[in-house]
Amino acid sequence: MKFPKSDGTPLIRTDFASDKAWARVVEAASAASPEGFRANLHIFDDRCFEKVDTATLAEAASVAGDHALLIIADSSTMNNADMPLLCVDIVSLGGEFRVVPEHLWGVENNVSLANMDFSEFAAAVDRDGIFRGFND
């Protein structure tokens, strides 16, 4: 699989069961934080990614070498009211965690700019494996 070039962090749709659910995910993931920050995303809504496994996507993205992480909207994202997106570390292949859309901007901005490491967010997930922000 050849991974497409993009300026933003890839948000890839792998579940095509509901266009309505996908529209909600894109809207939530693209929304600005209360402070006005946004995730810099490139949305990939292409059936060539349908049901492609995480490892294959991560490997293809790492070969392309353009990004520090990959965001995946899979069936778990689409079928959960919280819409937890899968974040995949493509610098050190193998790391992953989920993030609610309202905190995606913080993960994407900080990891992409190397302000924070992927592992710092992964270490702050709740007992469900979802990053919902840092508890002060």
pTM: 0.94
Residues of the chain under the 70 pLDDT cut: 1-2, 4, 64-65, 93, 136
Q: Are 119 and 76 in contact (CB under 8 A)?
A: no
Widest CA span in the chain: 42
Q: What is the pLDDT of residue 37?
A: 95
Model confidence over 33-72: pLDDT tens digits?
A: 999 999 999 999 999 999 999 988 888 887 766 788 999 9
Residue 13 CA, chain-centre distance (Å), reads: 10
